[in-house]
């Protein structure tokens, strides 16, 4: 029973953090090897635990037989769930905080994803940051980040989950602001942290509300409470909506996504680790963790779908017009997260499967981008081009990743994105339809901007200065290693009934009845439509960028008419009408304007607004108002003292008169009193 | 014998130390430092012994221990009644720890009029006052220690302070005195209305038995509230804090923020709530509202600060807001969160003031503009310590700040039944949401401060000035605090375990 | 009301008028003389009420000694003899206070005493003496001591120290010098602490 | 005879004395007014002696005894008062009460 040792997985990076911080500098490889060893061990342990969990689940589903025939689970066997924990502290009354682990299909999957990608990033960073003065500090942070992500995944108690959640936030703040010398990085890191922290407010309110309703912080307690019913529906919706705000903040969904592109200011391995595979998926993981709760609150699920749909389209459009390669990938991540969030409002497996596959090929794309940037010494695609011949390994792995992202059939992206569209189609209703339509449109846009990126970077002549060369093995090895899952990972969840019992959906199922109730099937029509749109996107972009990748038409909007005429012989009406005019020239700039001016402006001005409010409150309210009152009190004492002084006029007889008046009054009092 | 006299010895040992120091001839002034260090260390060890005794020994962490009751003023039945229980123990030990660390810190760091003899004897006198307040179980004794604390702090600010020290010192003294006058009136009223005694335990039983009429309770609570609110400080009565902190010497600020503020909140838990339960229920929403205002107000004001110490002073207003929110809920969870918040704030803000004090000493100025950023470059270790403590202060999870705040918010979500019956449930939930928003504002101003102070490249003049990084003495003074911050954060049971039984015992009157 | 009562009543009215004149007279000496009339009226009141010894004591002490002393005081302080407005600016205030006080006293007298009559049987001096020396012995001794202290106090205050400045408006230097040279005979030399117990009632 | 007569006489005397004290400019005249007030008091004392003997009796003759004491004190008071006035005159060259206003703000 290896899953008993599952708590070792987060413990390993924690130990490595301590070792690196205290003895890092003295070590031969300045701390890097400690991080590597820890993550490798964690990966091995995750594989073992995953194997155990998945085989347990697969065993049950196999016994049931192919999904769809609704049979009772044999002997009432339950999906794999292991809960261990020790009471961290009593909080008063009967409330306690449990430091424990909750291992089930979802946790095992996340273990695999996080430790694999983290290991790749560790290996990659050894090469990428070789000559950086704060090399050891970087690896300490990487280990700390991995620890907090794994803690988030394994937590059995909402408070411990919140601890991991905020720790991940702080690590992203420190990692994004790794080169804190120049102001741009500082602003980016603070913006990232504050926007996610704004989301965290929602999460704190959600956690507190759920715990308040069910009297316990433990996840199992909350889920049992929901299963038992007898709670106020409105309050549950409020709590889950608050948590959605938290997820939106962390996973950079629609309103709070403005921090992600700026977060590219950090080193590329940071972007790969944090903004591709792990941190941003925390929001999606949170929703998946409390999926039964969301099932009980349809309103919350509807919001999830709407937010996801809007994000995937809007982010896709933004990716279209970016010149910075990492920004393109960042927006693409936001878009794919939109898919996952939308998927989770319909089907548990669809959302998670896409999260799993996306983690691998997006990390691959980021690392590939890192290697290209490292070679061309610039982020901007305008200074790249023609790298296909010079950097073959990077090219082929980047191509594989892109095709997977575009969801070309055999590759991973197709299977996972297709699930989402099928789930949306089956759910039907407004939200289902919205997600389906926008999902298909998103697929097109994704294909378009990825192909544009491919051409701008790898086709044509090299536009930058200096002469790029293939990156060193330490950087290319992870690329190849990640390319394999990018291509093959899709096949673990083929939507055919025969193979379902053994496939991914059974591995990560949290409840056998749920798995039986909504099986994964293939919907040929949607699959074909999605692939067609994807191919159209690719062809459209190829048509535009094949001849003159350096003259990126997106920048010379003025030349639009001239370029269009020369392409008139392109007979594919679809690419002209939709791809070039509507999508690229109208919607994209609008999206950019809306995102950068309106939303980013809102975030910026809210920051400055609060600062100004603070200043006004402090200057008037505090200093003049309350402090003024207190000082006024002191001053009034002085003033009245001065007035009283004048009574001593020196006129002795006046004093005597006052004396007699006193006598008079006393006499009256005694006389009347008696 | 040790059982009865333990507290008295520990409380009055610093006083003896102070007297000892004054005897040192002027010529050998420097000798005062090792003596003070020795005395404060001995006192700290004694307090640890009491902690161990309380926990491992007979009382086993339940009820009052180390009780000693000697008639002091028989005619008004005011007795020298000292005891200790779960609520006052953590604060008691924290006060000794902070004083010991301050004694270490003053070895090399003493503001300009110097005169270590006077300073250290005042500090030890202050310690006696503070420790006494936490163990006093008699209203008169409590009030004596409460006032005793003002005098040394007044002189510390007044003599060793910054440019506007007289104003700040007088304001601090008079403001607190103004508040405590009302409190004294309330105490006397309690004496006459209650069973004719000043003993807190007896009054608590009387309060629980409902001997005090409601209107009387309202007035008495108002009096005590005014006295304590000024000390906490709660929102409208806070204007003395920024002045006192900016002008106080580093050690003064540490003790002021570390312990003195807690005497106010401790007063609520020990005196106001148990003795006047019905009034507590009626005042709870008001206290809750003021607390949340303090959280938001403090955070907003911090955004507008240009002076480093003033910024931290306002942050204390915000943090104490969370503590008061916890108390306002009148539930064991809330009060536990409040006490934890007190300990967390004491350690973290104490450390914050130490760090800022050292930075002020090196940069000779508190203004953020003068520092001009780049502390991580000029003094890497100091920058790292400041960043760590600032992040701890904004409530990063594994560190204690987080537990204090989130548990207080949880308590605010479902307050005591008495409050729910009075129809304040949704009101407290709104408070909870506003409090949660406060956390993001807190994060905002701390990061804003960090960006301006630690990040970026230091201006040329400071780069060449080769400022000395954290010295051995400073590490000595700070490492216990840093270690405790991490320890209590990771293992909150260290504090919750001690306070939980005592709190539920005290709050029985409120039917919590 | 018998004829002597009428006489007495007349004396009292006369005394009241004299009192008013004392405080309103423009001429200082007239004021002093009116004081004499007022005090005699008081003595008459005593007689009327049967306190003969007191009446004559009053005449002896006040009229005889005190008024004379006051006249001396007026002379020594060179009070202006002619008519002169003796009142200062807080006259109205004084009038208000005194009239108010008088009104209060009258209301109190009328409400409390009403029409009660006094027992005017004369008190024999022997009885008074006997009471004074037996029951009131101690206060009597204290009174003697008080008078002595007052006597010495007055002497100490009023004696001119050597080298003290000249009287403000004494004549030109020569007159002052020859007086300086002469021994300070003008001072009242009396053996301090003569201590003759109390018989000597009255001014030094 | 009616009690009212001596008492009103005393009241008149006392009020006149008060007026004199408050409004007289010359210190000696103030002393005279004080004398009047003291005389009024003695009249009251004796009157009350008479009043008391009608119902309760006054074996100690306290009324008259006290009157005597008051007279003695009055005399002493004039003596000391005049000494002070002389001293005032010698230092200030004036006995005008208004000028003795050193004790003012």
> What value of ipTM does the predicted structure carry?
0.70
Q: How far is A512 from chain B (nearest CA, A)?
A: 34
Cα dist from B140 to A440, B87, B176, B206, D8, whole Å: 77, 20, 17, 17, 57
Lowest average pLDDT, out of A219-228, A595-604, B454-463, C190-199, goes to C190-199
Asked if D6 and C118 touch (Cβ cutoff 8 Å), the reply is yes
- pLDDT band for B470, please (50, 70, 90 cuts): confident
Residue B435 is encoded by which pair of tokens?
């409090």
- pLDDT band for A69, please (50, 70, 90 cuts): low
Q: For B139-194, give the DSSP string.
A: HHHHHHHHHHTHHHHHHHHHHH--TTHHHHHHHHHHHHHHHHHHHHHHHHHHHHHT
Instruction: Report chain D residues whose CB lies below 8 A from the CB of C167.
Output: 90
Please enumerate residues of D whose Cβ is less than 8 A from a Cβ of A.
18, 21-23, 97-98, 100-105
For D27, nearest residue in chain A (alpha carbons): A653
- Determine whether the interchain pair D98/A660 forms a contact, defined as Cβ–Cβ distance below 8 Å: no
Residue pointed to by tokens 């910075």: A324
Nearest alpha carbon to residue B402 among A222, A147, A97, A282: A97
Asked if B44 and B14 touch (Cβ cutoff 8 Å), the reply is no
| pLDDT tens per residue across span C54-106 | 899 999 988 888 888 888 888 887 766 666 666 667 788 889 999 999 999 99
The residue among B196 and C202 whose pLDDT is bigger is: B196
pLDDT of res. A573: 45
Q: How far apart are CA A486 and CA A441, in angstroms?
A: 23
- Determine whether the interchain pair D105/A656 forms a contact, defined as Cβ–Cβ distance below 8 Å: no
The helix (run of H) or strand (run of E) holding residue A84 is strand A81-90
Side-chain-facing half-sphere of B83: CA atoms under 13 Å = 22
Residues 6+ apart with CB under 8 A from A543: A567, A570, A572, A575
3-state secondary structure C50-109: CCHHHHHHHHHHHHHHHHHHHHHHHHHCCCCCCCCCCECCCHHHHHHHHHHHHHHHHHHH
CB nearest A201 (choices: B239, B413, B440):
B440
- pLDDT band for C191, please (50, 70, 90 cuts): very low
DSSP character at residue A558: G
* D5/C contact by beta carbon, under 8 A: yes
CB nearest C127 (choices: D20, D61, D90):
D61
Lowest average pLDDT, out of A100-104, A470-474, B369-373, C175-179, goes to C175-179
Buried b (16+ CB within 10 A) or exposed e, A133-154: eebbbbbbbbbbbbbbbbbbbb
Asked if A135 and A32 touch (Cβ cutoff 8 Å), the reply is yes
Residue C22 is encoded by which pair of tokens?
């004392």
Nearest alpha carbon to residue A135 among A7, A245, A25, A231: A25
In the predicted model, is pLDDT for residue A287 greater than 80? yes
1.20.1600.10, 1.10.287.610, 1.10.287.3510, 3.40.50.2000: CATH of D4-99: 1.10.287.3510
In the predicted model, is pLDDT for residue A561 greater than 90? no
> A interface mutation test: which of B176, B386, B397, B501 has the most A CBs within 10 A?
B397
Q: How far apart are CA A462 and CA A460, in angstroms?
A: 7
- Determine whether the interchain pair C158/D25 forms a contact, defined as Cβ–Cβ distance below 8 Å: no
Residues 6+ apart with CB under 8 A from B384: B376
Q: Which long-range contacts (CB under 8 A, 24 or more apart) does A579-582 make?
A: A579/A444, A579/A448, A579/A536, A579/A537, A579/A540, A579/A541, A580/A540, A580/A544
Nearest alpha carbon to residue A218 among A346, A83, A122, A315: A83
pLDDT of res. A565: 37
DSSP character at residue A619: I
Highest mean pLDDT out of A241-255, B320-334, C119-133, C180-194: B320-334
Residue A218 is encoded by which pair of tokens?
């433990």
For A216, nearest residue in chain B (alpha carbons): B410
**Tally of residues, chain D:** 105
In the predicted model, is pLDDT for residue C185 greater than 80? no
Q: How far is A92 from chain B (nearest CA, A)?
A: 4
pLDDT of res. B17: 93
pLDDT of res. A562: 38
- pLDDT band for B490, please (50, 70, 90 cuts): confident
Per-domain residue ranges of chain B: 276-506
pLDDT of res. B45: 94
For A87, nearest residue in chain B (alpha carbons): B493
Q: How far apart are CA A446 and CA A407, in angstroms?
A: 9
* Prior bond of B233 cis (ω within 30°): yes
pLDDT of res. A71: 54
Residue C89 is encoded by which pair of tokens?
């600016």
List B residues 208-267 in contact with A (Cβ-Cβ < 8 A).
236, 238-240
Per-domain residue ranges of chain C: 1-82, 135-188
Instruction: Report chain D residues whose CB lies below 8 A from the CB of A645.
Output: 105
Q: What does the mean pLDDT of chain B come to?
A: 88
Q: For A359-386, give the DSSP string.
A: HHHHHHHHHHHHHHHHHHT-SBGGG---
Instruction: Report chain C residues whose CB lies below 8 A from the CB of D74.
Output: 62, 66
Backbone angles phi, psi at B82, to 5 degrees: -115, 145
pLDDT of res. A571: 33
> Per-residue pLDDT averaged across C149-153, rounded?
90
- pLDDT band for B143, please (50, 70, 90 cuts): very high
- Determine whether the interchain pair C158/D8 forms a contact, defined as Cβ–Cβ distance below 8 Å: no
Q: What does the mean pLDDT of chain A come to?
A: 81
First-residue to last-residue Cα distance in chain B: 37
DSSP character at residue C161: P
CB nearest C108 (choices: A657, A660, A671):
A671
Helical packing angle, B425-453 and A183-214, nearest 10°: 160
Q: How far apart are CA A376 and CA A301, in angstroms?
A: 44
Dihedral sign of CA atoms A149, A155, A160, A161 in order: positive
Angle, alpha carbons B101-B102-B105 (nearest 5°)? 90
- pLDDT band for B512, please (50, 70, 90 cuts): very low
| CA C129 to chain centroid | 23
Buried b (16+ CB within 10 A) or exposed e, C109-144: beeebeeeebbbeebeeeebeebbeeebeeebeebb
Architecture of domain C1-82: Up-down Bundle (1.20)
Highest mean pLDDT out of A310-324, A456-470, B80-94: B80-94
* C88/A contact by beta carbon, under 8 A: yes
Angle, alpha carbons A414-A415-A421 (nearest 5°)? 85
Residue A516 is encoded by which pair of tokens?
């039986």
Residue pointed to by tokens 């704004």: A198
Q: How far is D32 from chain A (nearest CA, A)?
A: 15
Residue A486 is encoded by which pair of tokens?
């990018």
Lowest average pLDDT, out of A529-543, A653-667, B90-104, goes to A529-543
Q: How far apart are CA B497 and CA B89, in angstroms?
A: 12
Q: How far apart are CA A366 and CA A68, in angstroms?
A: 39
User: A with B: how many residue pairs have Cβ under 8 Å apart?
Assistant: 153
pTM: 0.78
The helix (run of H) or strand (run of E) holding residue B356 is helix B332-363
> Per-residue pLDDT averaged across A641-656, rounded?
80
DSSP character at residue A552: -
| pLDDT tens per residue across span B379-432 | 888 888 999 999 899 888 888 888 889 889 998 988 888 888 888 888 998 999
Instruction: Report chain D residues whose CB lies below 8 A from the CB of C57.
Output: 68, 71
**Residues linked to residue B81 through DSSP beta bridges, in sequence order:** B69
- Determine whether the interchain pair C66/D83 forms a contact, defined as Cβ–Cβ distance below 8 Å: no
| pLDDT tens per residue across span B178-217 | 889 999 999 999 888 878 888 888 888 888 888 888 889 9
Q: What percent of chain B has pLDDT over 90?
A: 37
CB nearest C94 (choices: A657, A663, A664):
A657
Radius of gyration of chain B (CA): 22
Q: How far apart are CA D47 and CA A504, in angstroms?
A: 123
Residue pointed to by tokens 């930075």: B359
- Determine whether the interchain pair A649/D104 forms a contact, defined as Cβ–Cβ distance below 8 Å: yes
How crowded is residue C26: how many other Cβ atoms within 10 Å of its Cβ? 12
């Amino acid at each position: 029973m290896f899953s008993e040792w599952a708590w070792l997985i987060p413990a390993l990076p924690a130990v490595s953090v301590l070792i690196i911080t205290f003895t890092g500098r003295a070590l031969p490889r300045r701390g890097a090897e400690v991080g590597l060893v820890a993550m490798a061990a964690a990966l091995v342990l995750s594989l073992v635990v995953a194997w155990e969990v998945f085989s347990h689940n697969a065993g049950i589903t196999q016994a049931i037989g192919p999904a769809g025939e609704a049979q009772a689970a044999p002997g009432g066997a339950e999906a794999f769930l292991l809960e261990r924990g020790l009471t961290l502290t009593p909080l008063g009354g009967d409330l306690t905080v449990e430091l424990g682990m909750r291992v089930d299909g979802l946790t095992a999957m996340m273990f695999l994803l996080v430790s694999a990608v983290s290991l790749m990033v560790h290996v990659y960073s050894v090469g990428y940051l070789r000559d950086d003065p704060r090399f050891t500090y970087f690896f300490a942070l990487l280990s700390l980040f991995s620890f907090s992500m794994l803690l988030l995944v394994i937590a059995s108690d909402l408070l411990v989950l919140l601890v991991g959640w905020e720790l991940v936030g702080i690590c992203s703040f420190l990692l994004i602001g790794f080169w804190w010398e120049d102001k741009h990085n500082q602003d980016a890191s603070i913006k990232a942290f504050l926007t996610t922290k704004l989301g965290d407010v929602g999460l704190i309110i959600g956690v507190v509300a759920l715990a308040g309703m069910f009297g316990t912080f433990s996840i199992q307690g909350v889920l049992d409470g929901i299963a038992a019913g007898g709670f106020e529906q409105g309050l549950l919706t409020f709590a889950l909506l608050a948590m959605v705000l938290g997820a939106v903040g962390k996973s950079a969904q629609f309103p709070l996504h403005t921090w992600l592109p700026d977060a590219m200011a950090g080193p590329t391995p940071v972007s790969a680790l944090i903004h591709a595979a792990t941190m941003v998926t925390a929001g999606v993981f949170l929703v998946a963790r409390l999926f039964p709760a969301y099932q009980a609150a349809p309103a919350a699920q509807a919001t999830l779908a709407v937010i996801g749909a809007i994000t995937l389209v809007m982010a896709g459009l933004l990716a279209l017009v970016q010149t910075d390669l990492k920004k393109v990938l960042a927006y693409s991540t936001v878009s794919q997260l939109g898919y996952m969030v939308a998927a989770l409002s319909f089907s548990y497996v669809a959302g998670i499967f896409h999260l799993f596959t996306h983690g691998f090929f997006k990390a691959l794309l980021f690392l590939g981008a890192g290697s290209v940037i490292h070679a061309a010494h610039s982020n901007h695609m305008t200074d790249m081009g023609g790298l296909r011949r010079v950097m073959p390994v990077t090219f082929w792995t980047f191509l594989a990743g892109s095709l997977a992202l575009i969801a070309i059939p055999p590759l991973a992206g197709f299977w996972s994105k297709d699930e989402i569209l099928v789930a949306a189609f089956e759910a039907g209703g407004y939200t289902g339809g919205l997600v389906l339509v926008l999902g298909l449109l998103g697929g097109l846009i994704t294909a378009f901007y990825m192909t544009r990126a491919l051409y701008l970077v790898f086709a044509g002549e090299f536009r930058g200065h200096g002469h790029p060369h293939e990156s060193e093995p330490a950087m290319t090895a992870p690329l190849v290693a990640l390319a394999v899952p990018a291509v093959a990972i899709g096949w673990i969840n083929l939507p055919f009934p025969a193979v379902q019992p053994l496939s991914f959906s059974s591995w990560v199922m949290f409840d056998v009845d749920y798995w039986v109730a909504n099986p994964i099937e293939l919907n040929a029509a949607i699959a074909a439509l999605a692939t067609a749109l994807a191919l159209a996107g690719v062809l459209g972009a190829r048509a535009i960028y094949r001849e003159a990748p350096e003259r990126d038409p997106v920048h010379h909007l003025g030349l639009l008419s001239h370029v269009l005429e020369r392409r008139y012989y392109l007979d594919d009406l679809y690419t002209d009408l939709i791809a070039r005019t509507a999508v690229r020239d109208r919607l994209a700039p609008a999206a950019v304007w809306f995102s950068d001016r309106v939303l980013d402006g809102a975030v910026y001005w809210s920051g400055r607004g609060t600062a100004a409010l603070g200043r006004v409150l402090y200057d008037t309210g505090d200093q003049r108002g309350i402090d003024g009152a207190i000082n006024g009190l002191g001053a009034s004492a002085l003033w009245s003292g001065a007035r009283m002084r004048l009574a001593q006029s020196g006129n002795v007889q006046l004093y005597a008169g006052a004396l007699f008046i006193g006598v008079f009054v006393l006499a009256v009092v005694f006389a009347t009193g008696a | 014998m040790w059982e009865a006299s333990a507290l008295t010895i520990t409380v009055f040992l610093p006083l003896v130390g102070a007297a000892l120091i004054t005897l040192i001839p002027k010529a050998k002034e420097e000798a005062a430092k090792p003596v003070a260090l020795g005395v404060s260390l001995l006192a700290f060890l004694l307090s640890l012994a009491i902690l161990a005794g309380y926990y491992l020994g007979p009382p086993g962490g339940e009820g009052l221990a180390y009780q000693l009751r000697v008639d002091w003023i028989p005619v008004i039945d005011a007795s020298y009644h000292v005891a200790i229980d779960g609520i006052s123990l953590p604060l008691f030990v924290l006060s000794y720890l902070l004083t010991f660390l301050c004694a270490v810190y003053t070895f090399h760091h003493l503001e300009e009029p110097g005169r270590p003899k006077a300073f250290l004897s005042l500090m030890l006198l202050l310690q006696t006052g503070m420790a006494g307040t936490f163990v006093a179980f008699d209203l008169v004794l409590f009030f004596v220690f409460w006032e005793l604390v003002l005098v040394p702090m007044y002189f510390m600010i007044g003599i060793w302070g910054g440019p506007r020290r007289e104003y700040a010192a007088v304001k601090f003294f008079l403001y607190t005195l103004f508040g405590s006058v009302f409190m004294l009136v309330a105490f006397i009223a309690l004496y006459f209305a209650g069973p004719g005694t000043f003993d807190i335990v007896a009054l608590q039983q009387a309060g629980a038995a409902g001997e005090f009429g409601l209107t009387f309770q309202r007035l008495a609570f108002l009096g005590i509230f005014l006295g304590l609110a000024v000390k906490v400080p709660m929102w409208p009565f806070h204007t003395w804090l920024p002045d006192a902190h900016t002008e106080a010497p580093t050690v003064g600020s540490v003790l002021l923020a570390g312990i003195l503020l807690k005497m106010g909140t401790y007063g609520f838990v020990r005196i106001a709530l148990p003795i006047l339960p019905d009034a507590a229920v009626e005042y709870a929403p008001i206290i809750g509202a003021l607390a949340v205002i303090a959280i938001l107000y403090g955070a907003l004001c911090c955004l507008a600060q240009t002076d480093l110490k003033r910024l931290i002073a306002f942050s204390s207003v915000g943090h104490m807001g969370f503590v008061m929110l916890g108390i306002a809920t009148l539930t064991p969870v809330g009060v536990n969160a409040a006490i934890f918040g007190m300990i967390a704030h004491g350690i973290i803000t104490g450390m914050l003031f130490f760090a800022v004090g050292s930075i002020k000493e090196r940069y000779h100025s508190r203004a953020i503009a003068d520092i001009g950023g780049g502390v991580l470059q000029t003094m890497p270790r100091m920058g790292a310590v400041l960043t760590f403590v600032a992040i701890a202060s904004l409530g990063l999870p594994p560190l204690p700040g987080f537990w204090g705040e989130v548990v207080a918010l949880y308590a605010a979500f479902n307050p005591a039944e008495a409050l729910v019956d009075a129809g304040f449930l949704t009101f407290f939930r709104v408070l909870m949401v506003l409090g949660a928003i406060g956390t993001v504002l807190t994060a905002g101003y701390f990061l804003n401060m960090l960006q301006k102070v630690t990040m970026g490249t230091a201006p040329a003049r400071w780069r060449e000035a080769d400022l000395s990084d954290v010295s051995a003495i400073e590490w000595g003074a700070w490492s216990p605090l840093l270690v405790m911050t991490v320890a209590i954060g990771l293992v909150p049971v260290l504090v919750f375990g001690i306070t939980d039984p005592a709190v539920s015992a005290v709050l029985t009157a409120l039917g919590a | 009301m018998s004829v002597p009562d009428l006489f007495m009543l007349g004396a009292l009215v006369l005394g009241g008028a004299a009192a008013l004149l004392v405080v309103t007279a423009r001429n200082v000496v007239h004021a002093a003389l009116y004081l004499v009339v007022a005090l005699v009226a008081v003595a008459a009141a005593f007689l009327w009420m049967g306190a003969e010894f007191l009446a004559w004591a009053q005449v002896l002490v006040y009229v005889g000694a005190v008024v004379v002393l006051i006249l001396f005081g007026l002379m020594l302080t060179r009070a202006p003899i002619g008519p002169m407005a003796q009142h200062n600016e807080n006259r109205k205030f004084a009038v208000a206070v005194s009239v108010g006080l008088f009104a209060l006293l009258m209301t109190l007298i009328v409400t409390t005493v009403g029409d009660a009559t006094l027992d005017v049987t004369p008190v024999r001096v022997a009885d008074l003496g006997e009471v004074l020396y037996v029951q009131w012995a101690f206060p009597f001794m204290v009174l003697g001591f008080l008078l002595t202290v007052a006597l010495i106090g007055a002497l100490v205050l009023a004696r001119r120290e050597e080298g003290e400045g000249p009287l403000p408006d004494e004549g030109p230097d020569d007159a002052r010098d020859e007086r300086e040279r002469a021994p300070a005979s003008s001072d009242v030399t009396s053996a301090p602490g003569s201590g003759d117990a109390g018989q000597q009632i009255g001014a030094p | 005879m009616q009690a009212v007569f001596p008492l009103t006489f005393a009241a008149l005397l006392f009020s006149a004395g008060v007026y004199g004290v408050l409004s007289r400019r010359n210190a000696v005249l103030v002393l005279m007014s004080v004398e009047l007030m003291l005389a009024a008091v003695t009249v009251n004392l004796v009157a009350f002696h008479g009043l008391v003997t009608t119902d309760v009796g006054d074996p100690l003759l306290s009324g008259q005894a006290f009157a005597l004491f008051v007279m003695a004190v009055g005399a002493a008071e004039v003596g000391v008062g005049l000494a002070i006035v002389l001293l005032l005159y010698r230092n200030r060259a004036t006995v005008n009460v208004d000028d003795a206003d050193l004790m003012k703000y």
